[in-house]
Amino acid sequence: MTADIITGPWSKKIKSSKSTAADIEAARVLAECDQITSDCTVAVLQILVESNIAPEDPDDENITYIMFLTELLRAATYKSLNLEHPFQDLVGLLCKAEYHTNNEKHYFIDYHKVDDVINYLRSEEKDPA
């Protein structure tokens, strides 16, 4: 049994022209993750359209927010299946957990870290070495 495997930045390059069962399974898992991500993004866009706040023009800068959200959703689906995505590192660095006295875990976004990252990236834009 052979199949064409869709490769992209999320997958390793396959050296052999014949796909193994593991390659086919990996492609299936990635396709399922992408379908879940797509379904979630469509649902968000539908709500934005119903609220009259969806980006309509292809040149609208707000499309970048949808693109960013889509990658966050993809990272979340990948994480649930122990697959790697670069946004997982971003979330890990910017989101923290606190434990309360009753051992209850509370998650939060560390906005000081967010500011640090923004300032760092802005300084990189100003000074391309």
Same domain? 25 vs 41: yes
- Contact status, residue 50 vs residue 29, Cβ threshold 8 Å: no
pLDDT digits over 83-113, tens only? 999 999 999 999 999 998 888 999 999 999 9
Same domain? 76 vs 93: no
| DSSP of 3-50 | -PPP--TTSPPP-SSSPPHHHHHHHHHHHHHHHHHHHHHHHHHHHHHH
Residue 41: domain span: 1-84
Same domain? 104 vs 51: no
Same domain? 4 vs 26: yes
The C-alpha angle 57, 59, 65, rounded to 5 degrees, equals: 90
Same domain? 4 vs 60: yes
Domain count, the chain: 2
pLDDT digits over 21-59, tens only? 988 999 999 999 999 999 999 999 999 999 999 888 878
